[in-house]
């Protein structure tokens, strides 16, 4: 007889690109999931698959205390590109501290490739490095995943291409990134959280490297379309940053500039190790995009409408 699940997973950012997929995958396994959502977000599908909804503001410490009750595993996937200090950094530090106090079994954090190399002048990478160090020093079980950070923009760019037929390509579009299917990323997140062999490790996570130009060519091939690409030199971002400083909105542009200026890739060895340890084969980006661009029900179910 199948035993009912007793362990509880707290997934923050449950309406985000990764969090939503993680919640769906955990529920498919029949796990108990507390999905952290905000009023006004699109969380109906999470309730429909049987996740317990927890409404709260992750920047509020008391909301974290309440959310942590009875939790065995924390999977932290919340983010806010304009409030990196308040929402990303401080809330993750509070989450870690409180998870430790509650004695959770494992804390899973989605960091990013290159945080140890390029944190300077890139607030999101800097925040992620501080959070990684807190996990390393705090004394609770953790697993840190490092996928390529530009991956976050993959579907957003494709949506823009589909909608407008054009795309602004900032900086050198020939630099390569280790793109990964969001479904694979969610699957890996769930698997490493559940497997004690991965505790206290930092894992680079990404597929074969492709440049943004490669992506555009892949999109052209899959859709048989000729999108208009508007190249913009990287230094234009500096001008925009300067203007936005006055509005204190410039943080994410600093990160973007760093992401557009370097290659963020996984070695063949890292990819093979990941596949062998997890007994998975990463799907090709072409497979993932074909599914996504076809907007089949499975993927549109996970898509974030924002
Ligand atoms: N996506 C990728 O491929 C990728 C790659 C590398 C690293 N990462 C990292 O993985 C994490 C998740 O990325 P993602 O792309 O899934 O992010 P995302 O789609 O932007 O989702 C962010 C989530 O955070 C929630 N959130 C924002 N402010 C909140 C608040 N004050 N209280 C509670 N929840 C709040 C959002 O809720 P609402 O829906 O209500 O706004 C949303 O559910 C981030 O740390 C990111 O840097 C992602």
Task: Label residue 242 by pLDDT band (50, 70, 90).
Answer: low
Q: How far is the CA of 202 from the centre of ligand 1 (A)?
A: 20
% of the chain at pLDDT higher than 70:
90
What is the model's pLDDT at position 304? 45
What structural domains does the chain harbor? 8-302 (3.40.50.720)
Label residues 40-70 b or e (16+ Cβ within 10 Å = b): eeebeebeeeebeebebebbeeebbeebbee
* C-alpha span between 14 and 76 (Å, rounded): 9
Tell me the whole-structure pTM to 2 decimals.
0.93
Backbone angles phi, psi at 241, to 5 degrees: -60, -45
**Ligand 1 touching residue 17 (CB < 6 A):** yes
What is the model's pLDDT at position 240? 65
List CB contacts of 196: < 8 A, sequence separation 6 or more: none
**Ligand 1 touching residue 16 (CB < 6 A):** yes
Helix (H) or strand (E) holding 8: strand 8-12
Q: Are strands 228-232 and 176-177 parallel, antiparallel or unpaired?
A: unpaired
What is the model's pLDDT at position 5? 79
For the record, the structure tokens of 43 come out as 């969380």
**Ligand 1 touching residue 114 (CB < 6 A):** no
* Protein residue closest via CA to atom 9 of ligand 1: 110
Q: What is the pLDDT of residues 77-108, one digit of tens each?
A: 999 878 888 889 999 999 999 999 999 999 99
What is the model's pLDDT at position 301? 45
**Average pLDDT for the chain:** 90
Q: How far is the CA of 1 from the centre of ligand 1 (A)?
A: 37
């Amino acid at each position: 007889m199948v035993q009912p699940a007793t362990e509880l997973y707290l997934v923050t950012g449950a309406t985000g690109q990764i969090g939503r997929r993680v919640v769906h995958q955990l529920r498919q396994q029949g796990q108990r999931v507390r999905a952290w959502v905000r009023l006004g977000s699109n969380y109906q599908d999470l309730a429909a698959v049987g996740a317990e909804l927890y409404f709260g503001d992750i920047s509020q410490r008391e909301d974290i205390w309440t959310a942590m009750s009875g939790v065995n595993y924390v999977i932290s996937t919340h983010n806010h590109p304009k409030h990196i200090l308040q929402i990303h950094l401080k809330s993750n530090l509070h989450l870690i501290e409180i998870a430790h106090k509650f004695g959770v079994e494992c804390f899973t954090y989605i960091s990013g490739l290159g945080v140890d190399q390029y944190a300077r002048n890139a607030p999101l990478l800097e925040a992620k490095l501080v959070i990684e160090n807190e996990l390393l020093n705090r004394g609770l079980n953790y697993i840190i995943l490092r996928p390529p950070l530009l991956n976050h923009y993959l579907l957003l760019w494709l949506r823009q291409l589909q909608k407008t037929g054009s795309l602004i390509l900032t900086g050198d579009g020939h630099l390569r990134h280790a793109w990964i299917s969001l479904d694979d990323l969610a699957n890996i997140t769930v698997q490493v959280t559940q497997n004690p062999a991965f505790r206290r490790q930092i894992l680079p996570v990404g597929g074969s490297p492709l440049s943004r130009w490669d992506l555009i060519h892949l999109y052209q091939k899959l859709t048989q379309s000729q999108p208009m690409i508007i190249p913009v030199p990287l230094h234009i971002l500096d001008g925009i940053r300067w203007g936005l400083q006055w509005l204190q909105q410039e943080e994410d542009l600093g990160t973007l500039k760093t992401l557009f200026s370097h290659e963020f890739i996984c070695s063949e060895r890292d990819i093979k190790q990941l596949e062998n340890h997890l007994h998975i084969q990463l799907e090709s980006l072409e497979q993932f995009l074909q599914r996504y661009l076809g907007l089949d029900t499975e993927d549109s179910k996970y898509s974030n409408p924002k």
